Amino acid sequence: MTTTRHPHLETEATGPAQHSVPAWAERVAHAIPLVVLPVGIWRLPFALGYGMGGEPLPPAWYNAPYVFGLTTLTEILALLSFGLVRRWGEVVPHWVPRLGGRRIPPAAAIIPALGGLVFTALGIDWLYEAATAGTAAWPYDEGWDVLAMAMSGLLNLWGPLLLVLTYAYYRRRRT
């Protein structure tokens, strides 16, 4: 097992983390935002009312803010997975008033990260739907439906990757 020594996990006040971050966990943390990004980019034409080859979406004032907001929110949530391999997932940054420098209880990161179970369950449901209905389940023209399945398939990796990363965080932080 290869581990990577990260200087960002050490300070004079708290010392090094209990265990080094495994190199594979670092790679998984980098993979999570990358599997979320394609579906975010794929959804951007909806903001402009383009229905991906199907019927155009009705023009609505909330389409653009909703789509851009959803895309931004999902990418921010995906980027939070870096907290499971970085120092700021173990100790509150010093710039935070009153809490800076305090150790973060592992459960404060583990419990929200178990949201990966929800993503995994949704992914299993999606796989079942894709296997039984195929592209007929998608409301897009031929070609766009295949792209939709590919992008959604990538997004379905988010849950399992987050669960694996959470387990690595738990193993590293347990006493």
pLDDT confidence of 16, banded at 50, 70, 90?
very low
Show Cβ contacts of residue 45 under 8 Å, excluding neighbours closer than 6 positions. 52
Q: Could you read off the pLDDT of 59-69 as tens digits, one per residue?
A: 667 788 888 99
- pTM of the predicted model, to two decimals? 0.77
DSSP annotation string for 131-148: HHHGGGGS-S-TTHHHHH
Higher-scoring residue by pLDDT: 4, 100: 100
Q: Could you report the per-residue pLDDT of 111-133, keeping only the tens digit for each? A: 888 888 887 888 787 777 777 77
**34/56 Cα distance (integer angstroms):** 28
pLDDT at 124: 82
Query: How far, in whole angstroms, is CA 165 from its chain's centroid?
Result: 11
Average pLDDT in the chain: 81
Q: How many CA atoms lie within 13 A of 101 on its CB side?
A: 8
pLDDT in tens, 76-94: 999 999 999 999 989 999 9
- Which pLDDT band, with edges at 50, 70 and 90, does 9 fall under? very low
User: Between residues 131 and 20, which one has the greater pLDDT?
Assistant: 20
Sign of CA dihedral 142, 134, 136, 64: negative
Q: Which two tokens stand for residue 67?
A: 């789509």
More confident residue, 92 or 56: 92
Q: Name the residue ranges covered by the structural domains of the chain.
A: 18-173
Per-residue pLDDT, 13? 42
